C-alpha cells in the first residue's frame, strides 16, 4: 500500500508547483481575499457595530480559511478529472500501485497545500491582525487540515460525477461555494428554515466553521469533540459513497 | 511448454454493446503476437481483460499461469503495459516518471539511464512530458513498460498517430524487446505493422476472431492470387503468357501486360516463360496480396472503412 506513495506525493507536489495558474489560483486567491477584507476592515478604524466587529475578529480568518479548503478541494476535483480524461489514472492503475495509494497521494498534496496557504495568509495578515499572541495558530492549522480533509471527501464525490475536465471547476464551484454560504458563518444555522437546517447538517463546512471559529477564539479541543467527530463521520460517509461511484476512466 | 497467455471463451459486454463476443487464443513464449483488426473490433477490451484491468463476463484467462483479474497485483509485477492514448502528468519530467515507475515494483528495476539511452531519450531526461513529441512520448511509454524487466510486454496501438519514420524506429525497438527473450502482445489496426512485426496474428472483427496464423500463411491460404505487371513491345507475348499453368487472365493495355493467376510458383513460371521465348521486357513488377487483402477477403470490406 505504501509502495510508491511518498514518491508519487512528492512528484505531484512538484508537478503542481510547476503549474503557473494552478499554484497561484489555489494559494493566491484565498490570501488575496484575506488581505482585501483585512484592509477594508482595518481602514474603517472604528467597528460600525458589535456584530460586524465579532465577524471581523474570527469571521474573516475563518472565511479565508474555508476558501483555502475549498480552493484545495476544487483543485483536487480539477486534477482528478484531468487525470481521468487523459488516461493518467488508468495508466497509474496498470502498475502495482493500489488505487487508494493514488488518491491518498492527492489528499496529502492538498493538505500540505492547505497548510502552506494558511502559513502564507498568517504572514500576509500580520499587519492587520495582531495574530500569534492570542490565536492558537498551531491548533487552528490542525483544525483547518481536519476540515479540509473532510471536505475533500465531497471533492471525490464531485470528481466522480463531473462529465469532463472542462466542467470540473465550475461544477465544483457551484456545489462548494454555496456550502460556505450556508455554513453558519454569515447567518446562524439555527435561523434557517427547517429543511435547510436539516440539509446543512450533512455538510462538512457547517462543522468546519464551528470548529475553526471556536479554536480561533481560544476554545479548547474538548469543546469541539462533536465537531471533529461529525467531520470524521461525514468524511467516512462521503468516501464510502464515492468509492461506489468513482470512475477511473 | 505452457503458453504464456491462454484466452478461452472470453466475452465482454458494456450494457447492450457487445465489445468481445467470443475470443480464444494462445500466445507462445518469445513471440511477437498481434491482435489485429479495425477500430472498434474489440482489441483493446480483449487486451485490457488480459492485463487484469477489466473482468470478462465469461471465459477464462491465464497469463504466466495467473488469473489476471484476481491476481492483478502479482501479475503486474511480471508484465509491462503500454495503454492506448495514455497520458502522464503534463509537467512530469521524463526521469521523474521513470524513477516513479521503478519504485513501484518489488524487484529491482533495470538501469533507467541505460534504458533511456537505448530508447533515444537521454537528452530528454529533464524535459516535461507535455513538451515531448508523439514519438518521444511513445518511447517513454515503452520505457515505463520495460522498467520492471517484465516477462510479457503489452503494447496497444503503439504507433497510431506517428509519422512513418518514428513508426519504423519504434518497430525496431519492439523487435529488440523480442530479442531480449520477452513475449510481446500488441494490437494494431495497421496491417503493414502486423506484417512487418508479428510472428503470429489473430484477426478480430465485431468482437470475434475470424482468423489466426502467421501473416505469411494467412496470405497464402486466403489470398493465393498473384499478379505480374510487365512492359514489353513484343505483342506476341500474350499468347505465350496465357499458356502458363496457373494463369487466369492476361490483360494488355498498350505495352503493359497484367498477368493474373494463383499459386506460389506463378512468378517463377512467368520469368521462365519470358526467358524461354526471349521476350524483352522494360519493366517487371509483382503485386502480392497482403493482410489487408486477407481482411477484405474474409469480411467483404476494407479495414480502412
Would you call B103 and A90 a contact, using CB atoms and an 8 Å cutoff?
no
Q: What are the backbone dihedrals phi and psi of residue A167, each rounded to the nearest 5 degrees, phi first?
A: -90, -5
- Residue A124 pLDDT: 79
pLDDT, mean of residues A1-26: 84
- Residue A234 pLDDT: 96
Top residue of A3, A15, A87 to mutate, by most chain B CBs within 10 Å, is: A15
Would you call B88 and A90 a contact, using CB atoms and an 8 Å cutoff?
no
Q: What is the pLDDT of residues A126-136, one digit of tens each?
A: 766 655 456 78
Q: Which of A18, A90, A95 is nearest residue B104 as measured by Cβ atoms?
A: A95
Q: Which of B51, B87, B104 is nearest residue A96 as measured by Cβ atoms?
A: B104
Residues β-bridged to residue B258 = B229, B251
The residues of A whose Cβ lies within 8 A of any Cβ of B are: 3-4, 7-8, 11-12, 14-15, 18-19, 83, 86-88, 90-91, 93-98
Please say if the pLDDT value at position A49 is more than 60: no
Closest CA to A68 of A141, A157, A161: A141
- Residue A51 pLDDT: 52
- Residue A27 pLDDT: 79
Dump the DSSP string for A23-73: HIIIIIHHHHHHHHHHHHHHHS-S-SSHHHHHIIIIIHHHHHHHHHHHHHH
Instruction: For residue B60, count other CB atoms closer than 10 A to its CB.
Output: 12
C-alpha cell at B155: 503494447
Q: What is the pLDDT of residues A134-149, one digit of tens each?
A: 678 899 999 999 999 9
Would you call A86 and B96 a contact, using CB atoms and an 8 Å cutoff?
no
For chain A, what is the total number of helices (H) and then of strands (E)? Answer: 12, 0
Which residue in chain B has the smallest CA separation from A19?
B91
- Residue A29 pLDDT: 79
CA gap A129, B175 in Å, rounded: 68
- Residue A126 pLDDT: 72
Instruction: For residue A200, count other CB atoms closer than 10 A to its CB.
Output: 19
Would you call A93 and B53 a contact, using CB atoms and an 8 Å cutoff?
yes
ipTM for the whole complex:
0.82
Please give the model's pTM, rounded to 2 decimal places: 0.85
Is residue A71 within 8 Å of residue A29, measured between CB atoms? Answer: yes
Is pLDDT larger for residue B17 or for residue A28?
B17
Task: Please tell me the distance in Å from A5's CA to the nearest CA on chain B.
Answer: 9
Q: What is the pLDDT of residues A153-195, one digit of tens each?
A: 999 999 988 888 889 989 999 999 999 989 888 888 888 888 8
Would you call A94 and B77 a contact, using CB atoms and an 8 Å cutoff?
no
Task: Please tell me the distance in Å from A73's CA to the nearest CA on chain B.
Answer: 19
Q: What is the pLDDT of residues B166-191, one digit of tens each?
A: 889 889 999 999 999 999 999 999 99
- Residue A45 pLDDT: 47
Determine the 3-state secondary structure of B47 from DSSP: helix
- 3-state SS of B98-154 is HHHHHHCCCCCCCCHHHHHHHCCCHHHCCCEHHHCCHHHHHHHHHHHHHCCCCCEEE
Rounded to the nearest 10 degrees, the angle between the axes of helix A137-161 and helix A99-125 is 130
Determine the 3-state secondary structure of B62 from DSSP: strand
On chain A, the residues whose CB falls within 8 A of the CB of B73 are 96, 98
- Residue A161 pLDDT: 84
Please say if the pLDDT value at position A46 is more than 90: no
pLDDT, mean of residues A58-72: 86
Q: Which of B85, B86, B100 is nearest residue A8 as measured by Cβ atoms?
A: B100
Would you call B88 and A88 a contact, using CB atoms and an 8 Å cutoff?
yes
Please say if the pLDDT value at position A107 is more than 60: yes
- pLDDT tens digits, chain B, 305 residues: what are they? 789 999 999 999 999 999 999 999 999 999 999 999 998 899 999 999 999 999 999 999 999 999 999 999 999 999 999 998 889 999 999 999 999 999 999 888 889 999 999 888 999 999 999 999 999 999 999 999 999 999 999 999 998 888 888 889 889 999 999 999 999 999 999 999 999 999 999 999 999 999 999 999 999 999 999 999 999 998 888 889 999 988 999 999 989 999 999 888 899 999 999 999 999 999 999 998 999 999 999 988 887 76
- Helix (H) / strand (E) element for B211: namely strand B208-213
Measure CA B100 to chain center.
29
Q: Which of B87, B92, B105 is nearest residue A11 as measured by Cβ atoms?
A: B92
CA gap A4, B265 in Å, rounded: 60
CA gap A189, B114 in Å, rounded: 63
Q: Which of B83, B91, B104 is nearest residue A15 as measured by Cβ atoms?
A: B91
Residues A125-157 as b or e (16 or more Cβ within 10 Å = b): beebbebeeebbeebbbbbbbbbbbbbbbbbbb
CA gap A200, A192 in Å, rounded: 9
A–B interface: beta-carbon pairs under 8 A = 62
Q: Which of B85, B91, B105 is nearest residue A96 as measured by Cβ atoms?
A: B105
Which residue in chain B has the smallest CA separation from A96?
B73
Which residue in chain B has the smallest CA separation from A93?
B53
Top residue of A1, A95, A247 to mutate, by most chain B CBs within 10 Å, is: A95
Q: What are the backbone dihedrals phi and psi of residue B304, each rounded to the nearest 5 degrees, phi first?
A: -85, -5
Would you call A87 and B86 a contact, using CB atoms and an 8 Å cutoff?
yes
Closest CA to B130 of A168, A17, A15, A159: A15
Quote the percentage of chain B above a pLDDT of 70: 100
On chain B, the residues whose CB falls within 8 A of the CB of A97 are 104
Q: List the end-to-end C-alpha distance of chain B, in Å, as a whole number.
A: 40
Determine the 3-state secondary structure of B86 from DSSP: coil
- Residue A1 pLDDT: 57
Residues A61-94 as b or e (16 or more Cβ within 10 Å = b): bbbbbbbbbbbbbbbbbbbbbbbbbbbbbbbbbb
- Residue A191 pLDDT: 85
pLDDT, mean of residues A73-96: 90
Amino acid at each position: 500500500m505504501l509502495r510508491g506513495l511518498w514518491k508519487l506525493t512528492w512528484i505531484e507536489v512538484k508537478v503542481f508547483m510547476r503549474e503557473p495558474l494552478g499554484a497561484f489560483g489555489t494559494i493566491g486567491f484565498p490570501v488575496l481575499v484575506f488581505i482585501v477584507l483585512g484592509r477594508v476592515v482595518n481602514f474603517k478604524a472604528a467597528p460600525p457595530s458589535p456584530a460586524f466587529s465579532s465577524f471581523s475578529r474570527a469571521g474573516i480568518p475563518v472565511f479565508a480559511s474555508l476558501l483555502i479548503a475549498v480552493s484545495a478541494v476544487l483543485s483536487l476535483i480539477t486534477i482528478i478529472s484531468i487525470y481521468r480524461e487523459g488516461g493518467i489514472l488508468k495508466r497509474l492503475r496498470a502498475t502495482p500501485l493500489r488505487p487508494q495509494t493514488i488518491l491518498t497521494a492527492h489528499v496529502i498534496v492538498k493538505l500540505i497545500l492547505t497548510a502552506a496557504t494558511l502559513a502564507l495568509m498568517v504572514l500576509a495578515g500580520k499587519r492587520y491582525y495582531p495574530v500569534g499572541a492570542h490565536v492558537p495558530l498551531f491548533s487552528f492549522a490542525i483544525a483547518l487540515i481536519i476540515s479540509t480533509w473532510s471536505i475533500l471527501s465531497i471533492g471525490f464525490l464531485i470528481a466522480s460525477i463531473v462529465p469532463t475536465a472542462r466542467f470540473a471547476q465550475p461544477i465544483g464551484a457551484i456545489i462548494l461555494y454555496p456550502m460556505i454560504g450556508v455554513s453558519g458563518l454569515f447567518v446562524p444555522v439555527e435561523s434557517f428554515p427547517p429543511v435547510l437546517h436539516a440539509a446543512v447538517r450533512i455538510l462538512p463546512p457547517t462543522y468546519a466553521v464551528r470548529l475553526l471559529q471556536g479554536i480561533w477564539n481560544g476554545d479548547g479541543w474538548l469543546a469541539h469533540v462533536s465537531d471533529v467527530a461529525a467531520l470524521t463521520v461525514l468524511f467516512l460517509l462521503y468516501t464510502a459513497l464515492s468509492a461506489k461511484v468513482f470512475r477511473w476512466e | 511448454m505452457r503458453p504464456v497467455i491462454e484466452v478461452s471463451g472470453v466475452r465482454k459486454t458494456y450494457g447492450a454493446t457487445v465489445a468481445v463476443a467470443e475470443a480464444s487464443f494462445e500466445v507462445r513464449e518469445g513471440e511477437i503476437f498481434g491482435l489485429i483488426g479495425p477500430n472498434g473490433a474489440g482489441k483493446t477490451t480483449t487486451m485490457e481483460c488480459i492485463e487484469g484491468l477489466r473482468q470478462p463476463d465469461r471465459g477464462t484467462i491465464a497469463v504466466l499461469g495467473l488469473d489476471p483479474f484476481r491476481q492483478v497485483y502479482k501479475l503486474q509485477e511480471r508484465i509491462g503495459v503500454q495503454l492506448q492514448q495514455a497520458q502522464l502528468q503534463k509537467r512530469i519530467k521524463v526521469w521523474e516518471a521513470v524513477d516513479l515507475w521503478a519504485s513501484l515494483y518489488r524487484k529491482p528495476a533495470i538501469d533507467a539511464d541505460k534504458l533511456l539511452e537505448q530508447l533515444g531519450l537521454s537528452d530528454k531526461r529533464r524535459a516535461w512530458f507535455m513538451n515531448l513529441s508523439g514519438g518521444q512520448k511513445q518511447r517513454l511509454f515503452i520505457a515505463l513498460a520495460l522498467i520492471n524487466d517484465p516477462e510479457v510486454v503489452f503494447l496497444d496501438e503503439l504507433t497510431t498517430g506517428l509519422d512513418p519514420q518514428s513508426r519504423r524506429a519504434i518497430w525496431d525497438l519492439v523487435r529488440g524487446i523480442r530479442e531480449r527473450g520477452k513475449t510481446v502482445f500488441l494490437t494494431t489496426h495497421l496491417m503493414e505493422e502486423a506484417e512487418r512485426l508479428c510472428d503470429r496474428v489473430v484477426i478480430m472483427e465485431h468482437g470475434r476472431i475470424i482468423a489466426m496464423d502467421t501473416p505469411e500463411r494467412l496470405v497464402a491460404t486466403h489470398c493465393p492470387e498473384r499478379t505480374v505487371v510487365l512492359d514489353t513491345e513484343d505483342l506476341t507475348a500474350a499468347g505465350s503468357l496465357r499458356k502458363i499453368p496457373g494463369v487466369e487472365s492476361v490483360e494488355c493495355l498498350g505495352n503493359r501486360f497484367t498477368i493474373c493467376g494463383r499459386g506460389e510458383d506463378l512468378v517463377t513460371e512467368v520469368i521462365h516463360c519470358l526467358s524461354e521465348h526471349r521476350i524483352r521486357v522494360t519493366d517487371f513488377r509483382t503485386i502480392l496480396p497482403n493482410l489487408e487483402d486477407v481482411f477484405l477477403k474474409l469480411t467483404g470490406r476494407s479495414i480502412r472503412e
